[in-house]
Structure 1
Amino acid sequence: MHLEKDEKKMERHLREIYSKGVDLYLEGEPASPEEIARKFFVNEDTVYMPDFVTDEDGTLREVRYDRVEYR
């Protein structure tokens, strides 16, 4: 139950960012806030790390979630 709440909270946050014109990506492909939040919380063995991409003025332009591989 707690994970569902966290997933919805993340989804709302990503929707807010997206509504401000920030592009969202998951593993290199454009993705919706819902897709990212679901994937982020579905598999406990997989870790996704966000990379915040800004322009030369420091304005956030992209958030890229990529899977982190542990060896």
Structure 2
Amino acid sequence: MIHFMRRLRKVAPAQKKEAAMPEDTKEYQDLFRELDSYEKQGVCMELEGKPASPTQIVRAHMIREEPGYMRDYVLNEKGDVKALYFDHVKKDR
């Protein structure tokens, strides 16, 4: 039996996540966590006027080029987020 050894560059524990994950991937994961939290609180979310899940919204952000989406927060009488709407922002030329 032959064993092969590879030299691995040591990465400090704080750098492991950053070294393994592109910045935009982390951004999308953070967005998903935020939207998932809203969904668990019962916040209604829409994308371009249609009901959407956190996954659908994140996917739309991933494929959409700049300028992206504008968020519209709707608050209840207590000031809590009741609904969250995402509308594509069209760039004027």
Task: Please classify the TM superposition score into its range, dividing by the shorter chain length.
Answer: 0.7 to 0.9
Q: Which has the higher strand share?
A: 1
Indicate the residue corresponding to 1:49 in structure 2: 70
Q: What is the total number of aligned residue pairs between the two structures?
A: 71
TM-score (norm 2): 0.69
Whole-angstrom distance in 2 between the partners of 1:12 and 1:18: 10
Indicate the residue corresponding to 2:60 in structure 1: 39
Q: Select 1:26's aligned residue among 28, 33, 47.
A: 47
TM-score (norm 1): 0.87
Structure 2: which 5+ residue stretches go unaligned?
Answer: 1-21
Flag the structure with more relative contact order, 1 or 2, with Cα contacts below 8 A and sequence separation at least 6. Answer: 1
Residue 34 of structure 2 is aligned to residue 16 of structure 1: no
Whole-angstrom distance in 2 between the partners of 1:13 and 1:5: 12
Whole-angstrom distance in 2 between the partners of 1:31 and 1:18: 10
SS at 1:24 equivalent: strand
Q: RMSD of the alignment, in Å?
A: 1.3
